[in-house]
Amino acid sequence: MLAKIVIVGAGPAGIRAAEVLAGAGLQPVVLDEARQPGGQIYRQPPPGAERDAFTLYGSEAGKARNIHAAFGRLGKSVDYRPDTLVWNCSSNALNILHKGRQGIVPYDRLLIATGAFDRVIPFPGWTLPGVFTLGGAQIALKAQGVSIGKRVALIGAGPLLPLVASQYLEAGADVAAVLDVTPFGAKIRALRGMLAVPEYARRGLSLLLKLKKFGVPTAYDVRAIEVTGNWHVDGLKWRDGAGRWHRIACDAVAASFGLKPEMQLADLAGCATYFDEATRQWLPSLQAGGRSSVPDVYLAGDCAAIGGADVAELTGKRAAYSVLRDLGIGFAADELKGIETTLARHTRLRKALDAAYPFPTHLIDAMSDSLTLCRCEGVTVGELRASYVKTSAPDVNRLKAFTRVGMGRCQGRVCGAMAAEILAGQSGASLPDVGRLRGQHPIKPIPMVV
C-alpha cells in the first residue's frame, strides 16, 4: 500500500512539496485552511474579487502565476482539501474541521507548511479600531482591493515594511508615513551579505527608490510609537533617534515587527524547538533535509525558518525529497543538489536581513504597566508583572494559569512572545529560561461538539 502523506498548508512550500510527491505518484493529501491555494503571499482573491496578476502581486506576479499554475496542473494527482482547518495532531492523525464538520485524517508522513504570522509588540493605542498588522494591511489590498484607511501610517522592522508601503502607494493609497523602528546604518552594514542573492538586493533597492519617488515621509530608528484616538485611530505620535516627538494625522496604522513561524501544529506533533539568539525567538529544530526532531514529520517554508516565498518553494521541494528518500523511493538527485546550493546563498541573505532589521527590544523596554498585553481578554502588562511577584515562577506556561495570558481565543499567538519578554524582564531570568507558550489544541477556536 502507498504511504499516506499529508501536507498541511498550500502556500509556496506546500504546493512545491505536493508537486514533487505527486510526481512520484504518491497522491499526497493537501489540507488548506484557505479556500484557494497560494498561501498568504500568493493569496488569490475570492471569486468576484479577481484582478490581474500584476495589480495583485506587482514584481512577484510571474512567481505567483507559476505557483498557481503548478498547483493547477497537479489536478487529481493530489487530494486537495481547501477550507479545512487542522486543529489537533496526535498519534499520527490530524483532527480537522471542514464546513462545520469534524474529521480525522491519519498519516504515515506529515509535511507541515503552515507559514508565519506577524511579530507583535504592543504600544499605546494598539487595540483601537484602525490598527492592523502589516500582514493584515497587505491582505486587505491583495485579497480585497481595499486600503485599511483613508490615510495610513506603516510601521515595521523587516522587509515587509517597504514592500507593503510600495504596494499601497502603487495602488493609490494615501500613505502618511513609513516608520522603520530599526536603524538605517544596520542596513548599510548588512548590504554585503544581501548580495548573496543579488536579485533580492536589487528588488530591495528598487523598493526604497520607489518610496523616494512617491515622496512619502520615511524615518528610521524610530524609538517610540503611540497611536492616539478615543474610539478609533485619529493620529500617531512617534519619537525619533534624537528624542524629538512628531505627530501625524492618520485614520489607520499597520504595525508589526518581523515574522514568526506558525508552530502550533509542529508543537502538537511533538517537534523540538530551540531559542534563536539572532532573532530572539523560538524556532523548530531542523535536521538535514527539512526533517523535524520527530521521525515522519517534516517542516518547510516559513514555519520551519523565516525565509520568504522563494525559500519556501525550495524548502518545500527539499522536504518532499526527504520524504521520498525516507520511504526508499528513488529520484534524480540533480534538482536536490541545486536546491541545496541556492538555499546556502539564501541562508547568507537571511543572516544579513536579520542584522539589517534587529528585533526592536527598545519598544519592549518602553511598555508601561497600563498597556494592554492580551488583546483577547484585556490583560495588562502590569497585571502580568504583578502576577510574577505572587508566584515567583519564571516560567511563562505557569504564569498563564494565574493571568489567563495565552488562554484567550488567539491561544497566545499574538501575545505569547511578549508575555515571555515581560516575565524575563521582571524576574531577571533569561528569555530562553522563561520558556514559551506551547501550542495547544484546538489550535484555533472550533464549535463545541455536542
Distances 163 to 194, 212, 214, 243, 397 between C-alpha atoms, Å: 16, 13, 14, 27, 36
Candidate residues 90, 146, 206, 430; the one interacting with another protein per rule CB under 8 A: 146
Among 53, 70, 139, 407, binds another protein (CB under 8 A): 139
Q: Which of 8, 26, 110, 141 binds another protein (CB under 8 A)?
A: 141
Phi, then psi, of 31 in degrees rounded to 5: -95, 125
144 binds another protein (CB under 8 A): yes
Does 382 interact with another protein (rule: CB under 8 A)?
Answer: no
Cβ closest to another protein, residue 5 vs residue 379: 379
Q: Which of residues 134 and 423 has its CB atom nearest to another protein in the complex? A: 134
The grid coordinates listed for 117 are: 504570522
Query: Between 42 and 321, whose beta carbon lies closer to another protein?
Result: 42
Q: What residues numbered 170-209 form the site for another protein, per CB under 8 A?
A: 171-173
Q: Which residue has the cell 512617491?
A: 214
Q: What's the full length of the chain, in residues?
A: 450
- Rounded CA-CA distance 101/99 in Å is 6
Q: Does 313 bind another protein (CB under 8 A)?
A: no
Is residue 49 near another protein by the rule CB under 8 A?
yes
Residue 106 binding another protein, by CB under 8 A: no
Nearer to another protein, 172 or 428 (CB): 172
Contacting range for another protein; rule: CB under 8 A; set: 47-55, 88-96, 212-220, 341-349: 47-55
Residue 267 interacting with another protein (CB under 8 A): no
Long-range contact set of residues 139-146: C-beta below 8 Å, sequence gap at least 24: 139/40, 139/43, 141/167, 141/168, 141/171, 141/173, 142/43, 142/45, 142/56, 142/57, 142/167, 143/43, 143/44, 143/45, 143/46, 143/49, 144/45, 144/49, 145/45, 145/49, 145/51, 145/171
Cell triple for residue 128? 483601537
SS3 state of residue 362: helix
Q: Judged by CB under 8 A, which of 147, 166, 182, 281 binds another protein?
A: 147
Q: For another protein, how many residues bind (rule: CB under 8 A)?
A: 56
Among 94, 364, 384, 410, binds another protein (CB under 8 A): 410
The least distance separating another protein from the CB of residue 129, rounded to whole angstroms, comes to 3
Q: Tell me how far, at minimum, the Cβ of 329 lies from another protein, in Å.
A: 35
Distance in Å, CB of 405 to another protein, minimum: 13
Which stretches of 228-280 are DSSP H helices? Answer: 264-268
Under 8 Å between Cβ of 407 and 387: no
Exactly one of 84, 133, 218, 403 binds another protein (CB under 8 A); that residue is 133
According to CB under 8 A, which one of 18, 190, 305, 414 is a site residue for another protein?
A: 414
Does position 55 interact with another protein (CB under 8 A)? The reply is yes
The residue type of 9 is G
Nearby residues of 292 by Cβ (< 8 Å), 6 or more positions away: 112, 266, 269, 271, 272, 284, 285, 286, 298, 299
Nearer to another protein (CB atom), residue 49 or residue 191: 49
Residue type (1 letter), 156: G
Q: Does 440 bind another protein (CB under 8 A)?
A: no
CB atoms within 10 A of CB 360: 23
| Peptide bond preceding 442 in cis form (omega within 30 of 0) | yes
Distance, CA of 117 to CA of 263 (rounded, Å) = 10
Q: Footprint of another protein on residues 324-353 (CB under 8 A)?
A: none
Does residue 136 interact with another protein by CB under 8 A? yes
Nearest distance, CB of residue 411 and another protein, angstroms: 8
74 is an interface residue for another protein by CB under 8 A: no
Torsion sign over Cα 241, 244, 250, 252: positive
| Cβ distance to another protein smaller for residue 118 or 421 | 118
117 belongs to the binding site for another protein (CB under 8 A) = yes
Residues that bind another protein (CB under 8 A): 33-35, 40, 45-51, 55, 117-118, 127-133, 135-137, 139-141, 143-150, 171-173, 230-232, 251-252, 262, 375-378, 408-410, 413-414, 444-445, 447
